[in-house]
Amino acid sequence: MAGGTGGGETVMVAMENPHAHAPQGFIRKYIFSLDHKVIGIQYFFLALTAVFVGMFLSLLMRIHMIWPMAVLPLVGEIKPETYLSLLTMHGTIMVFFVLTTAPQGGFGNYFLPIQIGAPDMAFPVLNMLSFWTTFVGFIVILCAFFVTGGAPLHGWTGYPPLSALSSTGPGEQLGADLWITSIAIFCVASLMGALNFITTTLDLRAKGMTLMRMPLTVWSWFITAILGLLAFGVLLSAGILLLMDRNLGTSFYVPLVVVNGQIMGHKGGSPLLWQHLFWFFGHPEVYIAILPGMGVASQVLSTFSRKPIFGYRAMVYAMLSIGFFGFMVWGHHMFMSGMSPYSAFAFSLLTMCIGVPSAIKTFNWLGTMYKGRIRFHTPMLYAIGFVSLFVSGGLSGPFLAQPVLDIQLHDTYFVVGHFHLIMGVAAIFGIFAATYYWFPKMFGRMMNEPLGKLHFFITLAGTYAIFMPMHYLGMAGQTRRYSQFTEVAYQAKLLPLQTFMTYAAIITIAAQFIFVANLFWSMFKGTKASDNPWEATTLEWTTATPPPHDNFGGVTPVVNHGPYEYGVPGAPKDYVMQTDPATVAAQ
Amino acid sequence: MATYTPTTPIDRIGHGHKPPVPPAAGGDDGRGGGDVPNYGARLRRARLGLACGIATVCMVFISLTSAYIVRQGLPTFDGTSNTYVRDWGRVDLPWMLLAINTAVLLVSSVSMELARRKAALQAALAPVKSIPGVSLGEEKSFPWLGITVLLGIGFLAGQWLAWGELHARGFFVDTNPNSSFVFLLTIAHAIHLVGGVIALVWAASASLLHKPVEARRIVVDITAWYWHFMAVLWIYVFALLGLAR
């Protein structure tokens, strides 16, 4: 082992590294790769494919809502049950294969090991298996479109008895079995991934990388992995019970029901049992989707404000408490399902408690930007957009946490607007921020800035135009999950607003092609990126662009600084990298 | 100048009197994460991964238990009496057979522990044995791993017989909610135990294939802790089915 300095700036420890030898051959290098970076990119492109599928489904829904009789190319006329299938598949694909897959599986896989100074994940084979299991899950759910009866129509929450009986609708036959199987496969994949993330974070940190020197992105992936580890097992159990009800004649969830005049062979089961199990997973899932976005926003806001993150420890404890409370509030999804007022009070109170760490984070983000020398690059715009959407979507949360208000609003567009802003679009903005921020490191080239900014402004305006009116629609009593409103007098009056939202959706979706064009064009034709184009401090910016197979080219970094040391008094530059010599700030 | 809030103690970034020294090893408390993974580090990493895996399995069984308890208390409407009645039902479990299976699994856990200790001893003595001219005498060799595999397969065979016996007594997975849970919990446990048997066979083959003693020890160690967990889990399932009928 030899100690040394690199260029007088970085401290590295050179040693023989077992990960230094890259695999040869296309299959081992790009398909069944054990390299966390390749696996991260695989996850990213899987999520990119999934998001376009999900977006296409939402486009069909929005078109159908305002032109219900339209015959669309490829899909023909959309019947009410088809609309419900589109809704189900849109929600499921977006929640599982986009919002869970891209930020954690994609960027987490790629950057967590590098940011802690590790050569790879703790269990590379398990990592590869995790991706390919996710891939199989995605294929299985897509198959639901093509089997007899088509895709299921029970919504992404899969409430029984609708989801537990094959006679309740056309999509509830084989399509529903495929849906549950896909979710179960996804659970197994996520559990493998969570195990790997936790072990890697706890055991593979470089010298000097104490817990309180970890970038907030690492903290967010780590906490997300803990949530996943505890939540996906519950969904897996719930899914197995549902499959048994559907195929083995058990009655866990199905009470005595009559479908189309026929008494079903079940009795005594409780749909509420599914709801409890599902939402015990479902609420932490919201944080599984959004926490990595919070980590990325913190990272990007600090970097482009040229200031340390405001209240680093508070940010860490806020994320931990969000994760903790996330497991105690599942009942707020079930106020409408009926529960003791005392339980509702407890769930309501605990839900509002989450507002405290959320507010801490928001004010800390604002504090980070305050009096900063802000560089308005595209990642920064998306990080600011993330904060904006987090606030806009989050503020309606305390309303819905009140049982009396939730009973009025729950089955209206108010809830649709709320969760799309806070969980959907905010998380997507986190993904965009991460993409524009880390693209140079991943692909060695810069993304086009003007195109990035154009993409940002259209997407920001578009998403607000789509989802803010939903709150007004909800307050006006417009029901969710209805395929068309033209035949209902009081709902038809709200149609102009729905029409406006559909046009906004078409424009916003069209703008995503700017992103895709920018992504692929920049991959091959973009300006070559330096090793640290953003003048950032964390470990990924100390290594080559793109990073070598073992991440640090046969050397292991030694960490001497916190992750966000910008504007340090006495430092030669306005930032101190984590591997800079410990005395650098005094020079 | 922007307001600076240090994220590390100020002396670590060079403002103290003493020049700060990078931690000697490891990020937090002596973990040498970036080092070439040695035997101890690999063992610790594998155990940590196993602990996460066990946490997951615990969550699966905790959720099944909550479903068990909730479903047990649910009323269902009875059209003939026009009232709500409990439909939990009863199951005549083959207690003797299950007790024998439990004993087999517990004995297998003991033999697994002996295999683990033997592997640990071999790993500890390996450096000494590699010194030329040093002999530790003749080792007594007993195939504890093989015994554990046989006992594990014996337990699974016993469970198979128990399911057959339940069928013979007229209890199937859809007979009543109680029987549904009996099959669900025992089969879920058996599936997890099959994973343990596969790991055991892997560990035994590592021994037969003369893999490095340290690699063998890690596999045996991890499998042993998983196996003990399976035994505890079975006792839990057995107690649940017996006590919360």
Which pLDDT score, from 0 to 100, does residue A20 have?
55
On chain B, the residues whose CB falls within 8 A of the CB of A233 are 56-60, 63
Q: Is 50 exceeded by the pLDDT of residue A565?
A: yes
Q: Are A196 and A122 in contact (CB under 8 A)?
A: yes
Q: Please report whether residue A18 resides in a domain.
A: no
On chain B, the residues whose CB falls within 8 A of the CB of A560 are 12-13, 20, 22
Which pLDDT score, from 0 to 100, does residue A379 have?
98
- Comparison of pLDDT for A569 and B101, the residue scoring more: B101
On chain A, the residues whose CB falls within 8 A of the CB of B59 are 229-231, 233-234, 237
Residue in chain A lying closest to B187 (CA): A240
Domain, as residue range, for A297: 34-258+266-586
Which pLDDT band, with edges at 50, 70 and 90, does A585 fall under?
low
Angstrom distance (rounded) from CA B27 to CA A497: 55
- Listing DSSP states for A344-367 in one string gives HHHHHHHHHHTHHHHHHHHHHHHH
Q: Please report whether residue A209 resides in a domain.
A: yes
A566 membership: H or E segment, kind and range: strand A565-566
User: 């869970």: which residue's tokens?
Assistant: A100
Angstrom distance (rounded) from CA A438 to CA A534: 10
Task: Give the model confidence (pLDDT) of A243-302 as tens digits.
Answer: 999 999 999 999 888 888 888 888 889 999 999 999 999 999 999 999 999 999 999 999
Whichever domain contains A511, its CATH number is: 1.20.210.10
Which pLDDT score, from 0 to 100, does residue B2 have?
38
Which pLDDT band, with edges at 50, 70 and 90, does B37 fall under?
low
User: 């080239």: which residue's tokens?
Assistant: A445
- Listing DSSP states for A380-420 in one string gives HHHHHHHHHHHHHHHHTHHHHTSHHHHHHHTTBHHHHHHHI
Chain B interface disruption, residue of A13, A116, A252, A307, most B CBs within 10 A? A252
Q: Which of A472, A474, A491, A475 minimizes the C-alpha distance to A483? A: A491
A14 membership: H or E segment, kind and range: strand A10-14
Task: Give the model confidence (pLDDT) of A406-442 as tens digits.
Answer: 999 999 999 999 999 999 999 999 999 999 999 999 9
Q: Are A263 and A232 in contact (CB under 8 A)?
A: no
User: 């849109």: which residue's tokens?
Assistant: A90
Nearest to B27 among A17, A195, A207 (CB): A207
Give the pLDDT mean for A471-493. 88
Residue in chain B lying closest to A305 (CA): B2
Which pLDDT score, from 0 to 100, does residue A308 have?
97
Token readout for A116 is: 């802690």
Q: Is 60 exceeded by the pLDDT of residue B15?
A: no
Token readout for A18 is: 């077992």
User: 């957009």: which residue's tokens?
Assistant: A385
Task: Give the model confidence (pLDDT) of A494-553 as tens digits.
Answer: 999 999 999 999 999 999 999 999 999 999 999 999 999 999 999 999 999 999 999 999
User: Are B27 and A116 an interchain contact pair (Cβ–Cβ within 8 Å)?
Assistant: yes
Which pLDDT band, with edges at 50, 70 and 90, does B76 fall under?
confident
A12 membership: H or E segment, kind and range: strand A10-14
B2 contacts: CB under 8 Å, gap ≥ 6: A305, A306, A307, A371, A372, A373, A566, A567
CATH domain B49-74+93-131+142-243 topology: Four Helix Bundle (Hemerythrin (Met), subunit A) (1.20.120)
Alpha helix (H) residue ranges in B7-38: none
Q: Which percentage of chain A shows pLDDT scores above 70?
A: 96
Q: Which percentage of chain A shows pLDDT scores above 90?
A: 84
User: Are B173 and A244 an interchain contact pair (Cβ–Cβ within 8 Å)?
Assistant: yes
Q: Are B75 and B84 in contact (CB under 8 A)?
A: yes
Q: Please report whether residue A5 resides in a domain.
A: no
Backbone dihedral angles phi then psi of residue B76, each to the nearest 5 degrees = -130, 150
Residues 3-42 in B contacting A (C-alpha not used; CB under 8 Å): 3-8, 12-15, 19-28, 31-37, 41
Q: Which of A584, A482, A501 minimizes the C-alpha distance to A537? A: A584
On chain A, the residues whose CB falls within 8 A of the CB of B58 are 233
Q: Please report whether residue A8 resides in a domain.
A: no
Chain A interface disruption, residue of B31, B36, B59, B187, most A CBs within 10 A? B59
b/e A153-166 (16+ beta carbons within 10 angstroms → b): bbbbbbbbbbbbbb
On chain B, the residues whose CB falls within 8 A of the CB of A212 are 7-8
Residues 130-189 in B contacting A (C-alpha not used; CB under 8 Å): 173-174, 177, 180, 184, 188
Give the pLDDT mean for A566-571. 90
User: Are A229 and B56 an interchain contact pair (Cβ–Cβ within 8 Å)?
Assistant: yes
Which amino acid type is present at position A94? M
Which pLDDT score, from 0 to 100, does residue A263 have?
83
Residues 43-72 in B contacting A (C-alpha not used; CB under 8 Å): 44-45, 48-49, 52-53, 55-60, 62-64, 66-67, 70-71
Q: Which percentage of chain B shows pLDDT scores above 70?
A: 80
- Whole-number mean pLDDT of chain A? 93
On chain A, the residues whose CB falls within 8 A of the CB of B63 are 233-234, 237-238, 277, 280
User: Into how many domains does chain A fold?
Assistant: 1
Which pLDDT score, from 0 to 100, does residue B71 have?
94
Q: Is 70 exceeded by the pLDDT of residue A338?
A: yes
Which pLDDT band, with edges at 50, 70 and 90, does B12 fall under?
very low
Q: Is 60 exceeded by the pLDDT of residue A325?
A: yes
**pTM, whole model, 2 decimals?**
0.91
Q: Please report whether residue A161 resides in a domain.
A: yes
**∠ Cα A337 A340 A341 (to 5°):** 105
Which pLDDT score, from 0 to 100, does residue A16 have?
43
- For A114-232, list the strands marked E by DSSP: none
B240 membership: H or E segment, kind and range: helix B213-243
Which pLDDT score, from 0 to 100, does residue A246 have?
96
Alpha helix (H) residue ranges in B35-93: 39-73
User: 């503020």: which residue's tokens?
Assistant: A395
Angstrom distance (rounded) from CA A431 to CA A220: 13
A405 contacts: CB under 8 Å, gap ≥ 6: A399
Cβ-Cβ pairs closer than 8 A, A with B, add up to 228
Which pLDDT band, with edges at 50, 70 and 90, does A21 fall under?
low
